[in-house]
Structures are given as C-alpha cells and as structure tokens.
Amino acid sequence: MAGRDDYVCPHCGGSTWVIDDAGDAQPCVCRGGRIRRAQTRGLVTTIPRRFSGLTVSPDGRQITDHGRPLAFAPEIARAVLKYCRTIDEQLERGRGLWFEGDTGTGKTTLAMLVSKSALQAGHSVAIYSMPRLLATIRNTFDADSDSSYAELFKQLTAVDLLHLDDVGAEQQTEWVLEQLYSIVNERYEDGRAVMITTNLGIADLKKQIGERTVSRLMEMCGDALPLYGSDRRVEFDPAKPDPFSSPQDEPTARKLDHEPATD
C-alpha cells in the first residue's frame, strides 16, 4: 500500500495548485494538508496512548476519558471546554493556555485534550515535555543528526500550536534559557499559540526560565489556570472509586502564588 508520502493528489498532480475556469491559479484542496505535514515532519505530533481516550462529551459540558467523566473545578473545566469549542478562533488569534499547579492534578490531561481538539480540527500541533524538547534540540548538533537546528527551529515556530509540558522541570543553564526564549519569542512575534503546563508558580517560573520568557507567555496565554490539590495518580487504588470522577476530589482552583491562598 502506498504511504502518505507516496500519495499524489488527483486534482493537482502534486503541485498543490489548480487552474480555475478563469485561468487563474488557486490553492488545491490538498494544499493545507501538505503544508501541515511538512511543518510537522519529524516532530512529536501524536497524543500519547495514555490520553487517547480523552474527549468532550456530546453535549459539550463534560471532559471524559473513554466515556468516563473527569472531575475538575467548574471554572477550569469551563475555560478548557470553551477553548476547545472555539479552537479555530483561539489559534487564529495566537491565544494559548497556561496550566499551573501541583503534581497529579490533571494539568497534562487537560493540555492533551486541547492538543487533541486542535489535531481533530485539522491544525498542526507539536507536543513536547521540556526535557524531551531540549534533548531533541541537542541531538540536532550531532554529526549523524537527520535534521539541523535551523530546520527544527523553523518547524517548532511554524506549527499552529506548540504544547510544552513540565516547563520548569529542565535543568537551568544559560543555553536552556536561550533556547526556550528564542522559540517562545519567535512564536510571540508571529502570533502563534503556545500552551504550557508547569508545577511552578509565576515567581518561581521567572527564576527558572527568565522574566522575558514568562512575560511573553503571560501575554500569549493570559491568566494561568490553577490546579491545586493532592496527587491523584499516587492516591489511585483500583479497588476504590476513581479519584478523577469524584467532585470532592476536584483540584481546587486556588489563587496563583502571587496572591495568598485561603484555607
């Protein structure tokens, strides 16, 4: 069977342009897909198996995993569901999302749902944890690397949505700070969306990745969506009710770290 790269569009013969009745060149229906494939070739663009069952319920009011409702603070769930419902508009505006909070409260789960919604809507998405992204960048400098740093940078800054997980988990060096700033700044200037998850509050994140980068992320993503509470992965016991389905175990939408928490 022919692979995706062997496919030749019957409308344009692979040129991605067609001639209309007036004799003018017009983009072929295949052009958008060809561009997206070129943008993401070699990048991590698939939803991990652990999150493959994430979806929005048919009525658009719940976040589910293989049909099982997941419990989140109502204001957090509403913000994510609205973003998914308006994904085309959000990405066109270069508007991203920022999930902040404790380990195991569902930040990555919600971010994966957003990335999945973007992919289903036909957008290009790159999905990386910060440690993996930095390792990928370092690999481009190896003598036997299949791609150059310039090629990878162009791809990372061209996709419709860049999903960065565990920002702040990387070891801090001047090189790391410069790489992250360069990617975020390029996307900031081009009006392309970034979505991040982090365990760090804003003050600590500024220390970890630099004020310039955090400032741009704040403008691109708006206020962080805070998820605080106990680690539901650690507490999970198959013999007990699923902690993600119980309202009393919802991650609390506590105020961000620059505002005092209330008990």
Q: What's the pLDDT tens digit per position in 74-87? A: 999 999 999 999 99
> What pTM was computed for the model?
0.76
d(CA 24, CA 172): 53
d(CA 239, CA 248): 18
How does pLDDT run across 1-30, given as a tens digit for each residue? 333 444 567 778 777 778 877 877 787 876
Clarify whether residues 75 and 22 are in a common domain: no
Q: Examine the pLDDT at 248 and tell me if it is beyond 70.
A: no
| Better-predicted residue by pLDDT, 100 or 5 | 100
Per the prediction, the chain carries an average pLDDT of 82
Q: Are residues 27 and 85 in the same domain?
A: no
Whether residue 257 is contained in a domain is answered as no
pLDDT at 148: 82
Quickly state the pLDDT bin for 149 (edges 50, 70, 90): confident
Highest mean pLDDT among 132-141, 142-151, 228-237: 132-141
pLDDT on residue 193: 97
- % of the chain surpassing 90 pLDDT: 49
Question: Both 47 and 29 in a single domain?
Answer: no
**Domain shared by 177 and 147, yes or no:** yes
50 vs 6, higher pLDDT: 50
pLDDT at 44 over 80: no
Residue 261: pLDDT band with limits 50, 70, 90 = very low
- Identify whether 193 is part of a domain: yes
Coil, strand or helix at 65? strand
Q: Do 7 and 34 touch, CB atoms closer than 8 A?
A: no
For position 84, what pLDDT does the model report? Answer: 96
Whether residue 145 is predicted with pLDDT greater than 80 in this model: the reply is: no
- Cα 186 to Cα 74, 131, 178, 179: the distances in Å are 34, 20, 12, 11
8 A C-beta contact, residue 263 and residue 228: no
Task: Kindly report, residue by residue over 190-243, the tens digit of the pLDDT.
Answer: 999 999 999 999 999 999 999 999 999 999 999 999 998 766 655 444 455 555
- Retrieve residue 177's tokens: 């700070």
User: Do 15 and 144 belong together in one domain?
Assistant: no
Average pLDDT rounded to a whole number, residues 162-169: 92
Q: Does residue 255 carry a pLDDT above 60?
A: no
Residue 261 lies in a domain: no
Same domain, residue pair 51 and 22: no
Domain coverage including residue 56: 42-249
Q: Does residue 250 surpass a pLDDT of 80? A: no
Question: Number of C-alpha atoms within 13 angstroms, CB side, residue 139?
Answer: 12
Residue 189 inside a domain? The answer is: yes
| Confidence at residue 20, expressed as pLDDT on a 0 to 100 scale | 79
Are 87 and 203 in a shared domain? Answer: yes
